[in-house]
C-alpha cells in the first residue's frame, strides 16, 4: 500500500468517502462480548439508539456460540476475555460467523496488539478510553467495507494494513503454539485444574496434561506461575 496516504481522519482508510448512516428499517445487528458488566452495559447504552443489539455475552466461548446462532453484522469484542481471549476467538469466528465484521474494543493501546488484531481478522480497533467518541464511526466504517483504528500514538492504519515486518517478539504466541495449546494456556493461566479444562474443551484430562507439558517446553517455562505471567504479558488474560 505504498501509494496509500493517511487522510485527515486518522482512523479511516485513505481516499474513501465518509460512511453513510444506516437507512430506516435496516438497523445493523450487533453482538457485544465484554466481561465487565459496567462496560458491557455502557456499550449497549451507547449504541442502542442507532443499532440493534442482538445479544451480549461475557466470555469468548459464549461469543462463539452466540455468533454462530445469530450471525450478526458486527461483533464487538475485547482482547482479554475469560475462557477464550479475543484474538483466538476472532480466528474461530472466521468459520462460526464469516460475514460478521469484527471491531475490537479494548484497553490495549500497544501497536503490537493492534497488528495482531488485524491479522486475526479485525476490521476495526477502538481503545476503550475513546469509545464514546469513535465507536459509532468505527462501526459505520466497517459496515461500509473499510477498516478503522481510533487514534493511538505510534499507530497508522496504512502501516497496519501494509503488512510491515513484525517487531521483535510480536506474534510469538501464535507462531509457537497450536490453537488448542493457546486455549489450554489461557485456561491454566486462569487457575483452572486439568479436570476443569477437560470439561470445558471436551477432551481427556491426560490430553490436557500432555498439552500443558508441551506448552511449558515450547515456551521454556518451568512453573505455572511463569506460564501465568506469560499469558498476562501477551494479553491472553487480564493483568491482576
pLDDT of residue 10: 45
Pairing mode, strands 29-33 and 52-57? parallel
Q: Which residues lie across from 40 on neighbouring strands?
A: none
Q: Give the end-to-end CA distance of the chain in Å, rounded to a whole number.
A: 39
| Cα 118 to Cα 111: distance, rounded to the nearest angstrom | 11
- Answer yes or no: is 107 within a domain: yes
Per-residue pLDDT of the chain (240 residues; tens, 9 = 90+): 333 332 334 455 544 444 444 444 589 999 999 999 999 999 999 999 999 999 999 999 999 999 999 999 999 999 999 999 999 999 999 999 999 999 999 998 888 888 889 999 999 999 999 999 999 999 999 999 999 999 887 777 767 666 654 554 445 555 678 989 999 999 999 999 999 999 999 999 999 999 999 999 999 999 999 999 998 888 788 765
For residue 239, give the 3-state DSSP assignment.
coil
- Both 36 and 130 in one domain: the answer is yes
For residue 24, being part of any structural domain is answered with: no
* 3-class SS of residue 38: helix
Cell numbers linked to 152 = 493511538
CA separation for the pair 204, 75 (Å, rounded):
32
pTM as predicted: 0.81
Question: Cα dihedral angle (46, 51, 55, 56), rounded to 10 degrees?
Answer: -20
User: How many domains would you assign to the chain?
Assistant: 2
Which among 129, 162, 195 is the end of a domain? 162
- In order, the DSSP letters of 104-158 are EEES---HHHHHHHHHTT-SEEEEGGGHHHHHHHHHHHHHTT--EE---TT--HH
Whole-number Å distance between alpha carbons of 157 and 174: 22
Closest to 236 (Cα-Cα) out of 182, 161, 178, 199: 182
pLDDT of residue 110: 85
CATH number, residue 157: 3.40.50.2300
Domain extent for 188:
172-233
**Cα(213)–Cα(195) distance, integer angstroms:** 15
Residues 60 and 152 grouped into a single domain? yes
Are 157 and 48 members of one domain? yes
Same-domain pairing of 88 and 179: no
Amino acid at each position: 500500500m505504498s501509494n496509500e496516504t493517511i487522510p485527515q481522519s486518522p482512523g479511516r482508510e485513505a481516499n474513501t468517502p465518509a460512511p453513510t448512516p444506516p437507512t430506516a428499517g435496516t438497523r445493523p445487528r450487533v453482538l457485544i462480548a465484554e466481561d465487565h458488566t459496567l462496560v458491557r452495559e455502557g456499550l449497549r447504552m451507547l449504541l442502542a439508539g442507532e443499532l440493534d443489539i442482538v445479544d451480549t455475552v461475557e466470555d469468548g466461548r459464549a461469543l462463539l456460540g452466540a455468533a454462530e446462532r445469530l450471525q450478526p453484522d458486527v461483533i464487538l469484542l475485547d482482547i482479554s476475555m475469560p475462557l477464550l481471549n479475543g484474538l483466538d476467538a476472532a480466528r474461530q469466528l472466521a468459520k462460526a460467523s464469516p460475514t460478521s465484521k469484527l471491531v475490537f474494543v479494548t484497553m490495549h493501546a500497544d501497536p503490537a496488539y493492534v497488528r495482531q488484531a488485524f491479522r486475526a481478522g479485525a476490521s476495526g480497533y477502538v481503545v476503550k478510553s475513546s469509545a464514546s467518541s469513535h465507536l459509532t464511526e468505527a462501526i459505520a466504517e466497517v459496515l461500509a467495507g473499510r477498516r478503522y483504528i481510533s487514534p493511538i500514538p505510534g499507530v497508522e492504519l496504512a502501516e497496519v494494513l501494509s503488512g510491515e515486518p513484525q517487531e521483535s517478539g510480536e506474534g510469538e504466541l501464535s507462531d509457537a503454539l497450536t490453537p488448542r495449546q493457546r486455549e489450554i494456556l489461557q485456561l491454566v493461566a486462569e487457575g483452572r485444574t486439568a479436570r476443569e479444562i477437560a470439561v470445558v474443551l471436551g477432551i481427556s484430562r491426560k490430553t490436557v496434561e500432555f498439552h500443558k507439558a508441551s506448552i511449558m517446553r515450547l515456551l521454556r517455562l518451568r512453573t505455572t506461575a511463569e506460564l501465568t505471567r506469560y499469558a498476562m504479558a501477551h494479553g491472553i488474560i487480564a493483568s491482576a
